[in-house]
Amino acid sequence: MDWQDDERRQPRVSARERVAALRAQRRRGWWRFLRFGGLALAVLVTVWGLGWLWNAFAASMRLSDPRPVTGGATPANTVFRQPFTVLLLGIDQRDDGAEGVRSDTLILAYVNPNERWVSLLSIPRDTVAVIRGLGEQKINAAYSYGYHHAADLYGRGVDPAAAGAALATETVATLLNLPIDYVAQIDFAGFERLIDAIGGVVIDVPYPLLDSSFPTADYGYERIFIPAGLQVLDGATALRYARSRHGSSDFDRARRQQAIVRAALATVRSRGMLDQASALSALLAEARRSIKTTLPIDDPAALRELIALAQSLETDRIATFSINPREVAVVAEIGSDIYWNRRDLAALVERVRAGPRLDHEPATVQVLNGTPVNGLAARVSRALDNAGFHTLPPANTERRETTVIIDYAGKPTALARLAAHLGLPATQVFANPPADAPPQPLGADIVLLLGRDYNPAWALTP
């Protein structure tokens, strides 16, 4: 029969051979299991190792926040879904500690992650504020006092740097009546390294900066000069540009510091440093050396949100403000101590919280000098430029007693903004040219005619 023939053709397999075959099959199964299991284990070990390395990396940047917690912890997945505030501190800390440690720069960042904008508010270091444990003192004394009295203020074992940052944060929050969520601090050496790490910053210096008494690291002085014009500043030059205060006012110093912050962000974005793994790694490595912060950067999800925000933040979505006499009235000035009007300060904070006014209609403003003060129109134009207005070259006009604003081109939003900025009453603001108005200057939408009643604060550059 056919099946019998087939059976005869099949080789006979002994019992011993069948057992050996089964054992070989089991061995292959175990090797397959070990191979895939080993791969899975290797992946797990790698992920764990990367997590450990990241935690170690983040731990070197993390600054504890010893302030009492007033509410429950924010869930990690919602940490940057609502507006938040960060106090940026520039710290003057010398290696020998001969003059202690102090905050040289205070800038509040109000961040709206949903609408992708940031407001920067510079706080002059001569501002008088109430400091816990000290009373009314210059606000830059808060960091130093907290640093040297960490145990008294926040308990034993608290890092002095964390205590200094915490007291500075408390003081700013009280001054502005605004909660401060996080703090980030950097010292002078770290600032230089970070600017060098991104290849320098491009700054259009509006006018020459000369400082014959710029402080050096060895407590001496040097003469510095930075010419006007578009240029790339390395870390050392950028630090001088940000810190100099003898060649101009402290309010101009705030403007320069904000310009560097904006330029640094623009440089990082334009060079794609956040998109390139090697560049991002180098940048984070330098940040690890230079920055201390209470931001939750040890949470990878939170860090990704911060990087995504930085990647999408356009420079025109960064609004800049400063506490200065043009925006806030000075109640008293005793020596270098400045006492600010609380009502004006509250109004400025509301503008900070409102963010950049992106709905402004484009309009060009020309300032005409109708006073006997030489160069007044140029100084007012420069101040308006720094406040975000687009101005034409200034010129002179006939002498006049009263300052007026005239809209020649139907720009009601820009007209209202300029009037509010200068604080002019409605009787001095014209939506249409009056009968005695001068001819419309070429290219000008709105004209500011300066009269003898001008406010000197209009010419102050923050």
Rounded mean pLDDT of the chain?
Answer: 81
As given in the structure block, the two tokens for residue 116 are: 């992708």
pLDDT at residue 107, as a whole number: 93
Half-sphere exposure of 184 (CA within 13 A, CB side): 16
pLDDT at residue 73, as a whole number: 42
pLDDT at residue 378, as a whole number: 94
pLDDT at residue 417, as a whole number: 81
SS3 of 277, please? helix
Query: How far is residue 294's CA from residue 231's CA, in Å, rounded to a whole number?
Result: 34
Above 80 in pLDDT, residue 131? yes
Query: How far is residue 205's CA from residue 428's CA, in Å, rounded to a whole number?
Result: 34
pLDDT digits (tens, 9 = 90+) for 403-422: 999 999 988 878 888 887 88
Pairing verdict, β 101-112 and 117-122: antiparallel
φ/ψ of residue 317, rounded to 5? -100, 15
Above 80 in pLDDT, residue 198? yes
Lowest-confidence segment of 34-48, 219-233, 300-314, 321-335 by average pLDDT: 34-48
Above 60 in pLDDT, residue 217? yes
Above 50 in pLDDT, residue 47? no
Within 10 angstroms of residue 78's Cβ, the number of other Cβ atoms is: 9
pLDDT digits (tens, 9 = 90+) for 134-164: 999 999 999 999 999 999 999 999 999 999 9
**CB proximity list for 313: less than 8 A, separation 6 or greater:** 116, 117, 118, 265, 269
pLDDT at residue 221, as a whole number: 82
pLDDT digits (tens, 9 = 90+) for 75-125: 444 567 788 999 999 888 765 544 567 788 899 999 988 888 899 999 998
Pairing verdict, β 429-430 and 404-407: parallel
**Who wins on pLDDT, 55 or 318?**
318
**Whether pTM exceeds 0.85:** no
Above 90 in pLDDT, residue 313? no
φ/ψ of residue 229, rounded to 5? 120, 170
